[in-house]
Chains A and B, each alone.
Chain A
């Protein structure tokens, strides 16, 4: 038996506007840029792919199933900038073949810095998903698939989840394979689903790569690789960014046609099927425990945190941010709280990454800044203003010159 388990990550950050140290305005986010990017990606990816999936789901009458994780910040942007995307997600939810996963509302790294804030954000996200799509998320995925034993433990202790996702990194698996359900070594009940990074990346990254020896990738070939899992595993976890469809892989690469034909090819084999993460959790028992004492993620080849916390600027920015938690929460000012939380979105720290910066690779493509240094300066200026707003006697007057 081989179950294909698709999960798509849907996320866009609230990007900051250009904010100098001389700015005093409490508006930090670039409405225009965020709106236009959201609409652009909606047109190229979210809308056509949602329609395609809806189509496939109807055609296969329940036999094709997928899962999504929509961050709170992308949902807010859909509501503001392109509500029609939300209605297509709603249509998907109503088919009964789509599962929505839980994550931190702000796509944050809060697990690493504040357990309190972390739990609050997950609860906030679950409430939103339930309100919009009428289902309570049962499976949790952390930002960028950041994971370790402690995370699994925390999630199990919340009592609302049955499963958790992580990267199927070689060094945690050893001789084992990601195509089974596991149990985190720190848990009794929670089940662990691991990303099959080879097959996931064949679609997400290599699909249009003409240097790749498997190019061009056709649905029947890919289904053949799925069939190979039969007898060697239970589940093939294909986890990827939803923007793979139409945005990272453009329409003319044939990615939509690939997806359209994949269910047919996969289902040709009588032992294959599609399952959502929740259904995988229900169908399979863990075959072993997995011990992850050190943090892993799904990023880059290092599978670590270095893309967000790899240099002095990044760790300084995030420390300064979480240092403000108490101060912000004490003001009981919802606007301040929301601004502070939007600054937690991991993308802000990703933009400050200096790794590979000179080489101009994938990191650059997603970066609205000309350089990681610009991004740090901008972020710190915003943070400086936010701090001032938290002070008990807010004054409109410019503060006296400071000593550095």
Chain B
């Protein structure tokens, strides 16, 4: 089975869960012997990206630096990469916000005369981490033009390739998927990791919505990352149910990575509650803050760390200040690779208060790092996890109630950690890849 896969991003150049998902899925597919040609827009004008060419798997892995090269070549031997010159960037633009956050943190640093020494140290740490942050391209010009330019280039590329099925990840690649299907006549699968309704609530961008719906209509099969997302596809996009299958995301085993990080030694006697994700409407950062304020009414020795960037960053920082809990909330900016591991390992609890989360891989990662997890019931991942705490995102009192309980009662933390880590081991990418293969086979047979 040969797959022509269209994506937006691939590690190490990621700004969200999509790149992680594509990496995990293609690796597991490779292990099943599925041949994947992965097409990504190549970030142009990005100084840090210019030295990396995603042409061969070994080069990719070497630059990602996650695994040993020999091992990786083995793992990804069936995956090859094609790049198209395009400045397409998933989710908005990380770098722009990166800049902004650093400025804000710096200002905050200067203004506050009362910051304790350890906090100071922590801020410095975060700043250091932030500097190593996302390197890839600036977004310039018209995104829609870019999407269609990508589509045209992908179609041209497809004519030189041999494959059985087209697999397109999220809306930016749907036009490309449609174009490739049109020129090659191969069946199209679109993989919905999120919809415009998740990202923008009721204020949908009509053009993006149209692109999404056209992609879903043109596809022979739609893969949704959860039943939550499947329901949105059915109710909001008017797609027939028998066309939409649910394939849950997985998480990679962190394995021996953990041993290397036992010596971080920044642990103080303060508890750390972690928010990790884009600071956007979709992720519910303001509910995290409101819950934090309530927690601080009861408990004092706790800090709230918000790792990530996004268009609400500025507002959230100001909101924390207005609530009078600015000294208890730390902003790290966007975190990468090792820093993500580090922040997970420092955390006593990971909170994902998402307003609308199609799936949510981060809680799986947190569980992988033995961190107890509190997630909103409005997330797809809530469908597969039982050994976690769940709360409605708007119920900040209950959110605070549960955060306090985790910090206050070690047996709760222990039980969540033990069972959660065990449970997450069942959610591997290999399961997702097998389901995809079954879907491909069905298409292949009917085609």
Contacts and interface: CB of A to CB of B under 8 A. Distances in A.
B114 interface: no
Q: Name, among A21, A313, A316, A358, the residue most crowded by chain B CB atoms within 10 Å (CB to CB).
A: A21
Interface string A306-326: 000001110111000000000
A357 interface: yes
A200 interface: no
A219 interface: no
Interface in A342-400: 354, 357-358, 370-374, 376-377, 380-381
A21 B398 CA distance: 9
B297 A401 contact: yes
Given A20-B401, A22-B397, A380-B405, A354 B301 contact: no
Nearest to B416: A373
Contact of A401 (B299, B389, B400, B416): B299
Contacts of B387: 354, 357-358, 373
Nearest to A317: B411
B360 to A, nearest CB: 18
A288 to B, nearest CB: 42
Contacts of A376: 405, 409, 411-412, 415
Interface residues of B, number: 30
A20 B408 CA distance: 13
A403 interface: yes
Given A358-B423, A401-B300, A403-B299, A316 B390 contact: no
B386 interface: yes
Given A401-B297, A402-B298, A357 B386 contact: yes
Contacts of A371: 386, 389-390
B327 interface: no
B82 interface: no
B108 interface: no
Given A373-B389, A401-B298, A402-B299, A21 B405 contact: yes
Given A20-B397, A22-B294, A354-B415, A403 B300 contact: yes
A358 to B, nearest CB: 5
Interface in B244-287: 271
A401 B409 CA distance: 16
A404 interface: yes
A370 B390 contact: yes
A377 B401 CA distance: 8
B148 interface: no
Contact of A377 (B298, B302, B405): B405
Nearest to B404: A21
B18 to A, nearest CB: 28
B297 A404 contact: no
Nearest to A402: B299
B149 interface: no
B342 interface: no
B414 interface: yes
Interface residues of A, number: 25
Contacts, number: 82
Interface of A is mostly: helix
A376 B414 CA distance: 13
Interface in A264-313: 311-313
Contacts of B294: 22
A29 to B, nearest CB: 18
B415 A311 contact: yes
Contacts of B211: none
A397 B250 CA distance: 48
Given A401-B298, A403-B300, A313 B405 contact: no
A280 to B, nearest CB: 42
Contacts of B390: 370-371
B298 A316 contact: no
Nearest to A23: B401
A155 to B, nearest CB: 32
B409 A316 contact: yes
Contacts of B214: none
Interface in B119-170: none
Contact of A404 (B301, B386, B389, B400): B301
B411 A312 contact: yes
Contact of A381 (B386, B401, B419): B401
Contacts of B64: none
Contacts of A312: 411, 414-415
Interface in B378-410: 386-387, 389-390, 397-398, 400-402, 404-405, 407-409
A136 B390 CA distance: 48
Contacts of A22: 294, 297-298, 397, 400-401
A403 B386 CA distance: 29
A20 B400 CA distance: 9
Nearest to A380: B409
Contacts of B301: 403-404
A316 B401 CA distance: 19
Interface string A81-102: 0000000000000000000000
Interface string B295-339: 011111110000000000000000000000000000000000000
Nearest to B295: A21
A21 B302 CA distance: 16
Contacts of A402: 298-300
B14 to A, nearest CB: 31
Contacts of B423: 358
A22 B395 CA distance: 13
7 contacts: A312-B411, A371-B389, A373-B416, A374-B389, A377-B401, A377-B405, A403-B300
Give 5 closest A-B pairs by Cβ, nearest first. A316-B411, A312-B411, A20-B401, A377-B405, A401-B300
Interface of B: 271, 294, 296-302, 386-387, 389-390, 397-398, 400-402, 404-405, 407-409, 411-412, 414-416, 419, 423
Interface of A: 20-22, 311-313, 315-317, 354, 357-358, 370-374, 376-377, 380-381, 401-404
Given A316-B411, A402-B300, 6 more contacts: A21-B298, A22-B294, A357-B386, A373-B389, A376-B405, A380-B405
